[in-house]
Structure 1
């Protein structure tokens, strides 16, 4: 029988290495106050409106109907006031208690690192921490990369407590439900829980009755939000992902008024959700909320605000916000640095006390240290 022999110096190094791994894992679990996590994405929402509010040039362009009404609702000479008018929750509660990243005017940059700058590659990067160049389509291909939601769903205390609701139909492939086993309710998929309460059962029926304004593959964000909220009330998931879509749809349609309206509506949904969480003993003071997007949009020339993609300058520029018990209340972060969406997957796992990077089986960006205490 062959015996494994390790020299003493090498043995000491091995013991030290293993000790460091144990200490790192222990420090994650002991330091994290976050017990639950809510992730919300606003598809294709530009950083410009998040940090500057409504765009004067676009308001007075061919892309805006009812300009007087839009000006009344969203215009002020001050960018600080304009952004509060558009995103009142972000610029009150989160600005006071959380953090906001991505104001390029202040030198704080957030970007996608994938070169494609559209939805599937963006969501792949966000959840796998890996800008995989194979993920270069919006087609219904199964994602071969492990994602952080899948990883969390395998951890003790989280099994069966991770769920996603999305307006766009593509998330079962992005999160690879056939491999991950995650419950992902996208497009017009019905909730399958046999013990679902009366309101959830009614939402299954309602979503098929409302007009399909966004086509037959994307349901209204209102329905996605209602499903998420009611599921939260009944089942108390530990991790909930909500993917809104209408900001991207309205931008592609070239309707700036509706783009702004949908952004403000989604801010209202998030406000209502956060207040509900803080009123529930299960979630109060133990839940982190992270809000971001999948890609940016163009800016110059003006017409490019509708578009994104590899050839669109500025479509890599994004933003994110976070609020929760492990995140210092710094408000708008003006440090002149750059962070990438590939770093958010590990950030998410560390907020919950885990180390996705060591278990993913592929490249994962480092966590954003300033998000955690």
Structure 2
């Protein structure tokens, strides 16, 4: 009995110590569905911008997003990423510098990618995007089962498969996704308007709503409920790419960059979140090479569709900027990174990817 008490006390002390050494108390995990590393690190792709098949309004697109150098183009496309996050945080995945981030799952489509991100390992039985409840426990559910975080975890996404990915029925995590209405228990005029507007716009993508609604509904939720952990999944880049609309793909990335800036500015001015919140930003899969005519697609048979990227900014993350050294990270590492930033060790029934040490220390 004494040995058991000593063991329990040791675990408690270690956990308290782990929590005390990190300033991060809150996590915001953000994903840009199907957004390539190429655009993040090199800006607009000349093979697509100047191809009328993919960019109908070349003049406007060139005016907004083109530049003489890669650095100029990427800053035009995603100014927050390069003017703020690259100065105060870390960006991984510029394969031109042999810095790599990869999806470990062999399918390179969305559900397996998000499952890998949130679970920290690959379930090979999840190979497509079918709406079925995830049998695996995600790091979000793991956290929601801990008293400190119970009821303080939430998911907002544009894609309507997320209730299944996080198994909302089992995990009891609130999920606002697709065209679902947000609860408006406090009678917010903003939420009422957003609920109305999202159902009065063209449904271009089937089960995916426009990201602007996902963003502002998530922001309203953060302002009213102060979640400790929130996942925000933007979906438009992948949808525009599948339609072959490159100018819209670029526009959506630019808007999402503004959304992320909005989130960060809110975090830095809100007493609950300020200096206590880390943002992790990534994607579920990559896409094929534009020069090979594969840009619209992804999947196991598309070369490059497993090539992804990762960004982080927060009080525990050193300002290393764009990582220019050779290295290899995986999506499986994100779940444990989230837990470790919060002073916890995440465990599951399968071996997990280790935390990204350079992000948490």
| TM-score interval, smaller chain | over 0.9
Q: Structure 1 stretches (4+) deviating beyond 6 angstroms?
A: 14-20
User: 1:52 — aligned with what?
Assistant: 42
CA distance in 2, matches of 1:311, 1:344: 25
Q: Deviations over 1:296-323 (max 9, x none)?
A: 0011643101110000000000001000
Q: CA deviation at 1:335?
A: 2.1
Segment drifting more, 142-151 vs 297-306? 297-306
Partner SS for 1:228: helix
User: 1:191 — aligned with what?
Assistant: 182
Say whether the 8 Å CA contact 1:145–1:362 is kept in structure 2: no
Which has the larger Rg?
A: 1
Change (3 A) 1:300 1:246: closer
Q: CA deviation at 1:24?
A: 4.7
2:210 to 192, 206, 220: 220
Partner SS for 1:208: coil
2:346 to 356, 362, 370: 356
Q: Deviations over 1:24-72 (max 9, x none)?
A: 5344212111111111110000000000011111111121111122112
Q: CA deviation at 1:20?
A: 7.5
User: 1:7 — aligned with what?
Assistant: none
1:81 to 53, 72, 83: 72
TM-score, normalization: structure 1?
0.92
Say whether the 8 Å CA contact 2:25–2:277 is kept in structure 1: yes
TM-score, normalization: structure 2?
0.95
The answer for unaligned runs of 5 or more in structure 1 is 5-10
Alignment RMSD, CA only? 1.9
CA distance in 1, matches of 2:64, 2:290: 25
Counterpart check, 1:139 vs 2:163 = no
Change (3 A) 1:47 1:20: farther
Partner SS for 1:89: helix
CA distance in 2, matches of 1:54, 1:302: 16
Say whether the 8 Å CA contact 2:47–2:290 is kept in structure 1: no
Counterpart check, 1:42 vs 2:29 = no
User: 2:353 — aligned with what?
Assistant: 365
User: 1:28 — aligned with what?
Assistant: 18
1:336 to 320, 323, 326: 326
User: 1:180 — aligned with what?
Assistant: 171
Say whether the 8 Å CA contact 1:34–1:286 is kept in structure 2: yes
